[in-house]
Amino acid sequence: MAPSKVYFTDFRADHRENLLQKLHRLCITAGIENIDFNNKFTAIKLHFGEYGNLAFLRPNYARVVADLVKELGGKPFLTDCNTLYVGSRKNALDHLETAYANGFSPMTTGCQVIIGDGLKGTDEVEVPVEGEYLKSAKIGRAVMDADVFISLNHFKGHEMAGFGGALKNIGMGCGSRAGKMEMHSDGKPKVIRDKCIGCKACSRICAHDAPQFADGKAAIDYHKCVGCGRCIAICPTDAIFSPNDSSCEMLNIKMAEYSKAVLAGRPHFHISLICDVSPNCDCHSENDAPIIPNVGMLASFDPVALDMACADLCNTQPVLANSCIGHHHQDCETDRFQLNHPDTDWRTCVAHAEKIGIGSSEYELITLGKGGKVTAMTPGDGAAMPTKERNK
């Protein structure tokens, strides 16, 4: 199989071309015009950001994609599905209010916003999937009703997946609440009592009342817990952990199989922006300082190659000294996302997605320069020197 093409441009801009124009050119050069959008409902899947988090993608980028789809004859809408946990996006009304507060409204983005799995997260379609672990996936109905699917991804760290990129945005993001529960169900946390300070942060973040307190210490009620891992990320003393070493691995595998269910049988295109690379998901109601500098914008028809290219590019970047992993700033060898979350391995998701036929981890990185110049890089190596140039 030939390497997939992944197109890249950095965040440098001047008076001749701003970043929004660059994103438009990136999508055109990557071949989005080859999709038949004529009168096609087009889902643009992105993360609207939890209220209080400021690392999510600016709505200006969504406007570029929506306007481009309309230019090509399509009917775009922005979408995401409801969350499992307590927060500002657990039902469609709260979710829409949060989207609007964060700037994602029809007025600012030029298209409607539809919550994919309905008012209470129960409007789903059970989609057959030829996976190794799952026979079907529970996907938000509006997502599956679309004729064309576009993922617009904020590339950042993630406490269970290692990083959140295209496959995370597609697989976990398009699952209904029941689907998210199914993906999370293999990993249930445990509390180290000696480390617990009884702050009840875990209780406040849990949508299912699983953390219970006795003598000022937390314990997890496994009959209520769905294994979402939010309590692990929120605990200020690292008193909560997953005793099941395979739980993050299984989560990544299930996300890959959910991604296959979402993408199968229809045109799809994927865009990732490596900026404000926060340590944790945009689902948090806060965002810590970025762990690496901003890198650039990428686009591809292959979400597996896209995630691989993004990871490779991130791993060429220095660790920012003022970040949560800043004490590793001289460590040039270790994977940035494993420095961030040592118990995760993002490669599991990429490898399984490739295995089940979603895409290829081998890629040719094609860089857009100024004046329309396009430079192709060695396949599979985001840090490689250019091997050929051509004008386009």
Cβ burial 234-244 (10 Å sphere, 16+ → b, else e): bbeeebbbbee
Q: Are residue 200 and residue 146 in the same domain, yes or no?
A: no
Q: What single-letter DSSP state applies at residue 327? A: G
Q: Are residue 33 and residue 140 in the same domain, yes or no?
A: yes
Which of 144-148, 280-284, 378-382, 385-389 has the weakest average pLDDT?
Answer: 385-389
Label residue 330 by pLDDT band (50, 70, 90): confident
Q: Are residue 162 and residue 202 in the same domain, yes or no?
A: no
| Predicted local confidence at residue 231, as pLDDT | 84
Region 171-193: mean pLDDT is 87
Q: Are residue 228 and residue 113 in the same domain, yes or no?
A: no
- pLDDT at residue 385 greater than cutoff 60: no
CA angle 214, 219, 221 (to 5 degrees): 115
- pLDDT at residue 381 greater than cutoff 90: no
| Predicted local confidence at residue 287, as pLDDT | 96
Q: Are residue 146 and residue 266 in the same domain, yes or no?
A: yes
pTM above 0.95, yes or no: no
Domain boundary among 204, 226, 243: 243
Q: Are residue 211 and residue 139 in the same domain, yes or no?
A: no
| Predicted local confidence at residue 388, as pLDDT | 30
| Predicted local confidence at residue 329, as pLDDT | 75
Highest mean pLDDT among 119-123, 242-246, 386-390: 119-123
- pLDDT at residue 123 greater than cutoff 80: yes
Tens digit of each residue's pLDDT (9 = 90 or more) over 68-96: 999 999 999 999 999 987 789 999 999 99
Structure-block tokens of residue 130 = 């030829």
Region 145-163: mean pLDDT is 97
- Express as a percent the part of the chain with pLDDT over 90: 78
Tens digit of each residue's pLDDT (9 = 90 or more) over 90-103: 999 999 999 999 99
| Predicted local confidence at residue 69, as pLDDT | 98
| Predicted local confidence at residue 371, as pLDDT | 62
Q: Are residue 143 and residue 277 in the same domain, yes or no?
A: yes
Helix, strand, coil percentages (3-state) for the chain, rounded to 5, are: 30, 20, 45
Which of 219-223, 285-289, 299-303 has the weakest average pLDDT?
Answer: 219-223
Q: Are residue 75 and residue 59 in the same domain, yes or no?
A: yes
Region 292-306: mean pLDDT is 98
Q: What single-letter DSSP state applies at residue 288? A: P
The owner of tokens 């799809």 is 268
| Predicted local confidence at residue 377, as pLDDT | 62
Region 161-171: mean pLDDT is 97
| Predicted local confidence at residue 187, as pLDDT | 65
Region 21-48: mean pLDDT is 98
- pLDDT at residue 208 greater than cutoff 80: yes
Q: Are residue 167 and residue 202 in the same domain, yes or no?
A: no
Domain boundary among 243, 261, 288: 243
Q: Are residue 261 and residue 386 in the same domain, yes or no?
A: yes
Q: Which residues fall within 8 angstroms of residue 194, CB to CB, at 6 or more apart?
A: none
CATH number, domain at 216? 3.30.70.20
Q: Are residue 130 and residue 261 in the same domain, yes or no?
A: yes
d(CA 150, CA 329): 35
| Domain hosting residue 47, numbered range | 4-184+248-391
> Strands 240-241 and 190-191, how do they pair?
antiparallel
- pLDDT at residue 379 greater than cutoff 90: no
Region 130-150: mean pLDDT is 96
Q: Are residue 168 and residue 194 in the same domain, yes or no?
A: no
| Predicted local confidence at residue 22, as pLDDT | 98
| Predicted local confidence at residue 382, as pLDDT | 40
* Residues forming a β-bridge with 126: 138
Q: What are phi and psi of 134, to 5 degrees?
A: -120, 145
User: What is the average pLDDT score of the chain?
Assistant: 91
SS3 assignment, position 258? helix
- pLDDT at residue 378 greater than cutoff 70: no
Q: Are 390 and 369 in contact (CB under 8 A)?
A: no
Structure-block tokens of residue 30 = 């990557």
Between 40 and 238, the more confident residue is 40
Tell me how many domains the chain contains: 2
